[in-house]
Structure 1
Amino acid sequence: MSYIRFRKHYLHIPYLVLAALEFLALYAIFSLLSPLLSIAGVGYPSVDTNAMSANLFALILSCGTLAMGGYLAMVHESVSALFFRTLVAYCFVGGIGLKLLYLVVPTADPGSTNLFWAVIVASFVVIVLRLAFLRIVDSEQLVRRVVVLGDGSFAASLLDEYEHNMCALGVRIIGCIADSPNGTVAADKLLPKPEDFYKFCRQNRVSEIVIAQQERRRNEGGWLPVPQLMECKLRGIAITNGIDFYERELKKAKLDMVHPSWIVFSEGFKASKTRDFAKRSLDLFISLTLLAVTLPFIILTAIAVFLETGRPILYSQTRVGMLGKEFRIYKFRSMRQDAEKDGKARWASANDDRVTRVGAFIRNTRLDELPQLYNVIKGEMSIVGPRPERPEFVSELKDKVPFYDTRHYVKPGLMGWAQLKYPYGASVEDARGKLEYDLYYSKNHSLLMDFLIMIQTVEVILLGKGVR
């Protein structure tokens, strides 16, 4: 097994091992480099680094890596892209985080020169460590080999997602086993149908079989070798439902495979008063803290909007919240005053000509969303949750997208899982794609997952992802 499930969220063991190795490397670099620089007369000798300083250094830079998506991106990125991402994570995000931390804990500050060299050396050491780790863990000798049973649209979709979006280390889908004569999987992805499944798995070092058959084929007496699958299961080969594989590896619920019984009988989708109280307390603490920290930016943004297009500075819309209750959401106005002069709701489009110059900037930096802190304080929204949609679009999407209303059983948020994983949605098809991630969040959300989403949203803001 290459993953664990903690607080209903799947955590892949290779990433946890890599994070632990990086933390130890960062701790060692900070502990050893600073005294050596001081002896050489390059550093700042009057400050003694201690265990607390080294731990804080390693923790903040590790959070910087997580914030910039360093662990998940390394599977598909080139060495140059990995190098750039690590430098941004350490020198920019980590550097700012450490400087802010040293204002609160000045005794942990090793001095600017020591810190500079520690960050630079850490960046190069960690890049080498990641490349070596990736080469070892993702090698054919250690990789977890997976076979898909099925050759219909579900199986084809899974293969496509695997090739383009799979971010898990140490996973290799070696092909599909056809279950019908008229499948949609490409011929070069098909494996010969085995006579003995367990023998086939042993010969090909397969550790998991994913069942991704079409539901209609099962109803029509499609081929499912239950006795052989039972033998594989009892002899140590994992047997996984396609929707569970999607959830575990891609962190979403494949909408075409979702059915009511999955929602009714799954472990997730559980309401908890204790968790709701803790989440509400955290929302109030974070929103009030953000309001205090961003107050200068709020004032400057209001002035900039007023100077460019005059009043009103704020723009409000009706959105659908928890349990379908409507509320007014507030933003800094980023479009012309006549953006919807005919009164019809429109999806935002790429390079939308209704967006002003100031509006483009505050959208890219997410400054236009700051007034929604009021909605969080009021209790209509949370810091983390599915983004609320307009009633006009909700009415359309409920008719066209199955299970769309399930997202309204969780309080909407300023930032969300779908915003991290899916580009800006501006169509019914995009709404389907985002719902797959919203369903995963609705099923598995916890304070740990909220924390991970908040950290990773830093990358979205810095790189301007998902903005139109």
Structure 2
Amino acid sequence: MIKDNQKILNALLALIDAGICFASMMLAYALHFWNYQGVHLEIAYYVKLQLYIIPIYFFLYHYFDLHDSFRHKSLVSEIGSVVQANTIGTILIFVLVFFLKEVHVSRFVILMFGILNVVFSSVFRFSLRKLLRRMRARGYNLKHLLLVGWNDVSAEFYDRVLANHSLGYDFVGYLEHTKAYTAGRSIAYAGGFSSLPSLLDRKGIDQVIISLDYNDFSELGGLIEACEKAGVKSNLLPFYTKYLPTRPYIDEVEGMPLINIRKVPIDNILNSFSKRLFDIVVSLFSLVLFSPLMAMTALGIKLTSPGPVIYKQERIGRQKQPFQMYKFRSMKVENDNSDMNTWGTGNDCRRTKFGALIRKFSIDELPQLINVLKGDMSLVGPRPERPYFVDKFKEEIPLYMLKHLMRPGITGWAQVNGWRGDTSIEERIKCDMYYIENWTFLLDVKILLLTVFKGFVNRNESMR
């Protein structure tokens, strides 16, 4: 059974983490004291120190859920947890050494240990994910699911899970009052809701996904009780899923749970401060780094077409506040304000030849680094839009206005996933909402790296 396999895997994770912890300390010692002639503690002391460190790290990794199944976790969030655990762990080691009253313990060795442990733990988890995904894609280590209720939401869940074999899920079938129309999907009808207890008794089902329509909600209690009686985990996939964030946040008022529909991580003052500080430091560095390129671009614009070098356009930013967004001018000068309500395309006749070149490589976006410094924009975030299209899309696209919960960005999750320029607004908003609800510092770093490695060449010739 998958439960037994998961317990074994969790135990192996803990043992391997302990081994990585020990190896990191030994390597840190070797790197610092190789051919070192001064007075220092022998390696035996650092080996004994592991008797304290390994249990500390075991509890830290357990606290950050690093010994649990990562079937539902993203690699970015897991590595983020590794970094957090090791940061706290390194601080605790310094505290431990202070109480042990050993003044000759090398601070460099402890710091190097923390860095090496992060690197080795991250590489190990990345490699393990790759291995398990390959195994699951070949039909091993599968988790068997039973759907209770067949409707649009459960059908979409089935399609998404089936499209990604690396998740390692297999559907036993679905329960419904009568056999439902599944539009050709190869999922078996396993009976009515009353069949659930007998199906669970036969074993072979690892998890039950309950997806009831509004009219069937009266049966929810009995279905959950049947799962609990059989010792099988149940999950709710409610009909109002489309209104929920990917990570719902539960508030509590006098013991009553309240689902917070829009919990935005960046509302946390520490998260907001760290993102803004990162924006300022990186944008300043980038302005200095790209100043020669920006100077050559300005000269190229001046020599190839009449008009200003910098093009200003009103966009809507955080909290629906308008601001002037800067770009290198890539089109002919027009005075009829037609650019405010027309959609740029790859074959736009208004572009200059030099403008087409700088747009192809997104060089025209570089002046937005000034917008970042001013606080109008962030390095990473949903792309801002013109007022005309904001008014248009808010009536046509669900959740569109929620993109204004964060500062707009020069690049974003939608752009690195290919939804840029003249592409689907609906798909772009899905990416923007994922980013807003799942923001982490490491996700910003990931998006910037993806932008560097695959985002500069713009096949659609506009980031919008």
Please give the TM-score of this superposition, normalised by the length of structure 2: 0.60
Match of 2:184 in 1: 186
> Residue 276 of structure 2 contacts residue 378 of structure 2 at CA under 8 Å; is this kept in 1?
yes
How does 1:135-174 map onto structure 2 within 5 Å? 135-162=134-161, 166=164, 169-172=167-170
Match of 1:289 in 2: 285
Unpaired segments ≥5 residues, structure 2: 3-8, 28-74, 77-126, 249-256
1:6-59 Cα deviation digits (max 9, x unpaired): xxxxxxx99xx9xx99xx9xx9xxx9xxxxxxxxxxxxxxxxxxxxxxxxxxxx
How does 1:80-119 map onto structure 2 within 5 Å? none
- 1:445 and 2:439 equivalent? yes
The correspondence for 2:455, drawn from 453, 457, 461, is: 461
Shift of 1:293: 1.2
Match of 1:229 in 2: 224
Task: Flag the 1:300–1:345 CA change in 2: closer, same or farther, 3 A.
Answer: same
Match of 1:362 in 2: 358
Q: Which amino acid aligns with 2:287?
A: L
Residue 318 of structure 1 aligns to a residue in which SS? strand
Match of 1:197 in 2: 196
- 1:331 and 2:327 equivalent? yes
Task: Flag the 1:366–1:181 CA change in 2: closer, same or farther, 3 A.
Answer: same
Q: Which amino acid aligns with 2:318?
A: M
Residue 153 of structure 2 aligns to a residue in which SS? helix
Larger Rg: 2
> Residue 358 of structure 2 contacts residue 364 of structure 2 at CA under 8 Å; is this kept in 1?
yes
Partner Cα distance (2:425, 2:258) in 1: 19
- 1:384 and 2:393 equivalent? no
1:308-328 Cα deviation digits (max 9, x unpaired): 333222222111111111000
Shift of 1:397: 1.6
Residue 196 of structure 1 aligns to a residue in which SS? helix
Partner Cα distance (1:336, 1:263) in 2: 54
Partner Cα distance (2:409, 2:394) in 1: 20
Please give the TM-score of this superposition, normalised by the length of structure 1: 0.59
Shift of 1:279: 1.3
Partner Cα distance (1:344, 1:149) in 2: 50
> Residue 317 of structure 1 contacts residue 330 of structure 1 at CA under 8 Å; is this kept in 2?
yes
Partner Cα distance (1:173, 1:466) in 2: 39
Task: Flag the 1:390–1:175 CA change in 2: closer, same or farther, 3 A.
Answer: farther
Match of 2:58 in 1: none
Quick check: 353-362 or 174-183, which moved more? 174-183
- 1:432 and 2:431 equivalent? no
1:425-444 Cα deviation digits (max 9, x unpaired): 647xx333222222222223
> Residue 173 of structure 2 contacts residue 190 of structure 2 at CA under 8 Å; is this kept in 1?
no
Residue 191 of structure 1 aligns to a residue in which SS? coil
Unpaired segments ≥5 residues, structure 1: 3-12, 32-70, 73-127, 255-261
Residue 405 of structure 1 aligns to a residue in which SS? helix
Partner Cα distance (2:458, 2:239) in 1: 31
How does 1:24-423 map onto structure 2 within 5 Å? 134-162=133-161, 166=164, 169-172=167-170, 176-178=174-176, 183=181, 185-193=183-191, 195-197=194-196, 200=199, 205-213=204-212, 217-218=213-214, 220-221=215-216, 226-233=221-228, 235-241=231-237, 265-266=260-261, 268-269=263-264, 271-338=267-334, 342=338, 345-421=341-417, 423=419
Q: Which amino acid aligns with 1:448?
A: L
Task: Flag the 1:244–1:420 CA change in 2: closer, same or farther, 3 A.
Answer: farther
Partner Cα distance (1:252, 1:200) in 2: 30
1:363-413 Cα deviation digits (max 9, x unpaired): 232211110000000011111111111111111122222332222121111
Task: Flag the 1:237–1:333 CA change in 2: closer, same or farther, 3 A.
Answer: same
Shift of 1:272: 1.6
Shift of 1:338: 4.2
More relative contact order, 1 or 2 (CA 8 Å, 6+ apart)? 1
Q: Which amino acid aligns with 1:415?
A: T
Task: Flag the 1:377–1:131 CA change in 2: closer, same or farther, 3 A.
Answer: closer
Task: Flag the 1:356–1:238 CA change in 2: closer, same or farther, 3 A.
Answer: farther
1:129-159 Cα deviation digits (max 9, x unpaired): 9986543243323033344444333333334
Identity %: 26
Partner Cα distance (1:243, 1:466) in 2: 37
1:137-191 Cα deviation digits (max 9, x unpaired): 4332303334444433333333444455x48543445665456666564353453
Partner Cα distance (1:181, 1:340) in 2: 61
Shift of 1:202: 7.1
CA RMSD of aligned residues (A): 4.4
Residue 188 of structure 1 aligns to a residue in which SS? coil
Task: Flag the 1:178–1:420 CA change in 2: closer, same or farther, 3 A.
Answer: farther
Quick check: 412-421 or 313-322, which moved more? 412-421
Task: Flag the 1:388–1:177 CA change in 2: closer, same or farther, 3 A.
Answer: farther
Q: Which amino acid aligns with 2:191?
A: K
Residue 332 of structure 2 aligns to a residue in which SS? coil
Task: Flag the 1:190–1:465 CA change in 2: closer, same or farther, 3 A.
Answer: farther
> Residue 298 of structure 1 contacts residue 370 of structure 1 at CA under 8 Å; is this kept in 2?
yes
Partner Cα distance (2:165, 2:380) in 1: 23
Task: Flag the 1:226–1:376 CA change in 2: closer, same or farther, 3 A.
Answer: same
> Residue 345 of structure 2 contacts residue 421 of structure 2 at CA under 8 Å; is this kept in 1?
no
Partner Cα distance (2:197, 2:140) in 1: 20
Match of 1:40 in 2: none
Shift of 1:301: 2.1
Task: Flag the 1:175–1:308 CA change in 2: closer, same or farther, 3 A.
Answer: farther
Partner Cα distance (1:266, 1:130) in 2: 31
Residue 227 of structure 1 aligns to a residue in which SS? helix
Partner Cα distance (2:299, 2:416) in 1: 30
Partner Cα distance (1:418, 1:151) in 2: 31
Residue 431 of structure 2 aligns to a residue in which SS? helix
Partner Cα distance (1:242, 1:464) in 2: 39
Task: Flag the 1:415–1:147 CA change in 2: closer, same or farther, 3 A.
Answer: farther
Number of equivalenced pairs: 340
